[in-house]
């Protein structure tokens, strides 16, 4: 029989198999306690967040991780840009996606401008369901990201009838009640479709991520979050992990905004059961600053001494300021060493958070 100490160590053993990296080491750790973890395969995951908090950059970084990982060579990388707002310079920010990223119809995104009407990008929730069922029928494995739920309509005929009913309403109160019933119907349809998608994703060991926009509640009650999402409870219920993204602040140079500090609050985690909040930096001409986010974590944890100079003893570096330290790590090619240090410090912190009480079983 294993001792309590052995079981205790197992509880903080990093997980790495069966996951796709998010593109952020800190977010991987928040999900799975592993620098190589991230989004769980065979599962639905949702990604709610404020506008411009970094959701699209994060999902495109996830696609890059898949494109660079030989385990996913046979997977379809499908980006359903329902919002039709993805105008990033792929060649500059996400070059691994040039010959991999597809629209739902199978068209490469690099050809999208010339043949936008053939993209197959979803309009209704039913479109999304049909794409999923087709992928299952042909036996395809996939990484499918729909961005975002709020841009889907429900069945067009239903929406048309709702508009007619609202237009014929005899009062503003009556119109609001009808509009509310449409939202409830949309949530009901979404629940049915999420159940179908869940089966397809699990059967093919694929990955489905659905982004959502955060909206402010009107007059929230005491203790209630001021933020909410549309679509009812289905996205939460079917999510394996659900990180909330918000803007904590901006990076500025010469008075101009050049990036954002994205704060992640874990709302649900069915991998480890833990709800760890983290941060990572995004720069507009770079994407996620993975190294910078790890350096910030080590400084915040007190592992590296910070002052006028930052001393990174385990890398044998001492630099005048965080930016210079980051550039030195890149110059020396110490990215792997940095990740191992971050994993070790994360493990020590997680171990310190264990109750260390007698096990019930």
Tens of pLDDT, residues 110-123:
898 777 788 999 98
* CATH at 68: 3.40.50
Q: Is 306 part of any domain?
A: no
Residue 9 lies in a domain: no
- What distance in Å separates the CA atoms of residue 278 and residue 346, rounded to the nearest whole number? 12
Domain contains 318: no
Q: Supply angle C-alpha 133, 134, 138, rounded to 5.
A: 120
Judge whether 358 lies within some domain. Answer: no
Q: Is residue 69 part of a domain?
A: yes
Q: Is the pTM of this model over 0.85?
A: yes
Cβ distance 308 to 320 under 8 Å? yes
Q: How many CB atoms lie within 10 A of CB 255?
A: 5
Domain tally, the chain: 1
What whole-number distance in Å separates Cα of residue 168 and Cα of residue 162? 10
Contact residues for 306 (Cβ-Cβ < 8 A; gap 6+): 299, 322
Domain of residue 217, residue span: 41-239
| 361, part of any domain | no
Q: Per residue of the chain (361 residues), give pLDDT as tens.
A: 455 455 444 444 445 579 999 999 999 999 999 999 999 999 999 999 999 999 999 999 999 999 999 999 999 999 999 998 888 889 999 999 999 999 999 999 989 877 778 899 998 888 898 999 999 899 999 999 999 888 887 555 456 555 665 666 666 666 565 555 555 666 777 888 899 999 999 999 999 999 999 777 677 776 667 667 777 788 999 999 999 999 999 999 999 999 999 999 999 999 999 999 999 999 999 999 999 999 999 999 999 998 889 999 999 999 999 999 999 999 999 999 999 999 999 999 999 999 989 888 8
Give a yes or no: residue 67 inside a domain.
yes
Q: Is residue 136, in this structure, part of any structural domain at all?
A: yes
């Amino acid at each position: 029989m294993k001792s309590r100490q052995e079981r205790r160590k197992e509880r903080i053993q990093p997980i790495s198999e069966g996951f796709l990296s998010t593109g952020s080491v800190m977010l991987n750790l928040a999900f799975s306690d592993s620098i190589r973890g991230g989004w769980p395969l065979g599962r639905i995951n949702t990604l709610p967040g404020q506008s411009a908090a970094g959701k699209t950059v994060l999902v495109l970084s996830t696609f890059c991780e898949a494109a660079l990982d030989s385990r996913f060579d046979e997977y379809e990388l499908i980006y359903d840009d329902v919002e039709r707002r993805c105008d990033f310079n792929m060649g500059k920010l996400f070059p691994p996606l040039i010959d991999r990223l597809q629209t739902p119809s199978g068209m490469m995104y690099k050809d999208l401008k010339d043949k936008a009407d053939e993209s197959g990008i979803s309009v209704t929730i039913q479109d999304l369901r049909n794409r999923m069922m087709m992928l299952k029928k042909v036996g395809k494995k996939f990484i499918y990201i729909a961005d975002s739920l709020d841009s889907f309509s429900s069945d067009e005929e239903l929406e048309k009838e709702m508009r007619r009913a609202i237009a014929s309403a005899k009062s503003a109160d009556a119109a609001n009640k009808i509009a509310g019933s449409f939202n409830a119907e949309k949530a009901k349809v979404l629940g049915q479709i999420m159940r179908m998608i869940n089966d397809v994703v699990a059967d093919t060991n694929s990955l489905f991520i659905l982004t959502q926009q955060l909206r402010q509640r009107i007059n929230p009650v005491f203790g209630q979050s001021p933020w909410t999402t549309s679509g009812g409870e289905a996205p939460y219920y079917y999510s394996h992990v659900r990180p909330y993204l918000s803007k904590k602040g901006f990076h500025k140079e010469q008075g101009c905004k050049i990036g954002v500090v994205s704060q992640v609050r874990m709302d649900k985690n069915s991998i480890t059961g833990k709800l760890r909040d983290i941060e990572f930096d995004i720069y507009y001409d770079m994407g996620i600053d993975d190294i910078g986010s790890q350096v910030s974590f080590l400084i915040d944890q007190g592992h590296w001494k910070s002052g006028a100079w930052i001393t990174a003893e385990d890398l044998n570096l001492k630099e005048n300021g965080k930016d210079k330290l980051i550039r030195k790590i890149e110059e020396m090619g110490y990215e792997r060493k940095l990740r191992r240090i971050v994993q070790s410090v994360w493990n020590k912190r997680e171990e310190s958070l264990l109750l260390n009480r007698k096990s019930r079983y």
